[in-house]
Amino acid sequence: MPYKRSVADGFKLININAHLLENGYDSATEYIYESADGKKYTITEKFKAFVDPAVYNSFQALESNFGHNLYFVEHNARNTTKIIYLIGMYFGEITGDISTNDALNILKSLV
């Protein structure tokens, strides 16, 4: 699925990076977006085959007409939002200095 739109929800794609995973069999792709007012978010994706299935225990279903998709909102002390998701064959994260609602809207736009 990798997310490749150049502009999403007022954000513009500013950088794409790929990183080899420690297992040496796959890579993670990172898409970095920025808005005109300087807010940023990052989508990082990798193939789900190398993700421990126990990670999915606290996920909830994402309503979609396109199959079985899951997500989890992780809260932390900093002013960042992190949503971990499984869409199709991809496991990913959306992180950034955006609201949880904005991150969920971005996630919904991926499916």
On whether residue 55 sits in a domain, the answer given is yes
How far, in Å, CA of 48 to CA of 6, rounded? 24
How far, in Å, CA of 33 to CA of 47, rounded? 21
Please say whether the beta carbons of 107 and 83 come within 8 A.
Answer: yes
On whether residue 85 sits in a domain, the answer given is yes
On whether residue 92 sits in a domain, the answer given is yes
- Within 10 angstroms of residue 57's Cβ, the number of other Cβ atoms is 7
On whether residue 1 sits in a domain, the answer given is no
On whether residue 2 sits in a domain, the answer given is no
Question: What pLDDT does residue 67 have?
Answer: 67
Domain count of the chain? Answer: 1
Per-residue pLDDT of the chain (111 residues; tens, 9 = 90+): 545 565 567 888 899 999 888 877 788 899 999 988 888 999 999 888 767 778 778 888 887 666 678 898 987 667 788 999 988 888 899 999 888 888 888 888 887
Question: What pLDDT does residue 106 have?
Answer: 86
Boundaries of domain holding 61: 7-110
CATH number, position 49: 3.40.1000.20
